Amino acid sequence: MQRCITSVSFALLALCSYPAYADSNYLELNLGYNMLDDIDYHMNNSNHIKSEGIIDFDDGHFIGASLGYEYSPYRMAAEISYTENTVNTFYAQQGIAKMSQNFDGAMNALSITGNIYYDFNIFQKASPYLGIGLGSANVEMEGRDQLGYFFNESTTVFARQCTGGVLIHLTENMDIDLSYRYFSTNDFVLKRKINGVQERFEMNYETNLLLGGLKFSY
């Protein structure tokens, strides 16, 4: 009997000492530094003229908000985010001729993604994590070229992202989130018409992001 009581006591002690992770909802707000890669584009128009080139961008910004559910070590979240970059230089190449063109404008992307994260709860005050996400992005380019023609075209395309970061635990319900993210889309086409001639620009979108945010659990 004594042996049985001792065994039950150890079993209860083991159960009580096992970490219990409560599920909760959370809201997260992020700001970030957006380093959009150069875009290699291919253009062809209805007059069968083709050209290609590179669009170079200044670094821009990121704004994002997530609404999620966590059951440690997993988190799932729906996120809406916005990135914007100003065009630095627009290079066009036709045959062996390569020229720099003036372009006063910007590219932005409004995306909605579903994400899943895995938190490595190995430290008391911080939790490294990894995450992936899938969704869609509305990518838009707007501005004026050197001939004064206005460019204001957008399209919606499949998007994906990979994130690695660390949650710094401030309180039981508040964390600082510091992370790196790679975001990209499938190839897409932007169209415009000038004096009856339709132009098709085949492009892609890839960017690297450094993010900082606050996560509120409730």
The pLDDT, as a whole number, for residue 89 is 84
Q: Across the chain, which distance is largest between two alpha carbons, in Å?
A: 96
The pLDDT, as a whole number, for residue 95 is 64
* Domains of the chain listed by start with CATH number: 24-217 (2.40.160.20)
Residues of the chain with pLDDT under 50: 1-20
pTM for this one? 0.83
| pLDDT tens, residue by residue, 150-179 | 788 999 999 999 999 999 999 999 999 999
Task: Record the tokens describing residue 169, joined without a space.
Answer: 């635990």
Residues 6+ apart with CB under 8 A from 41: 52, 53, 54, 55, 201, 202, 203
The pLDDT, as a whole number, for residue 94 is 65
Taken as a whole, the chain contains a residue count of 218
The pLDDT, as a whole number, for residue 146 is 73
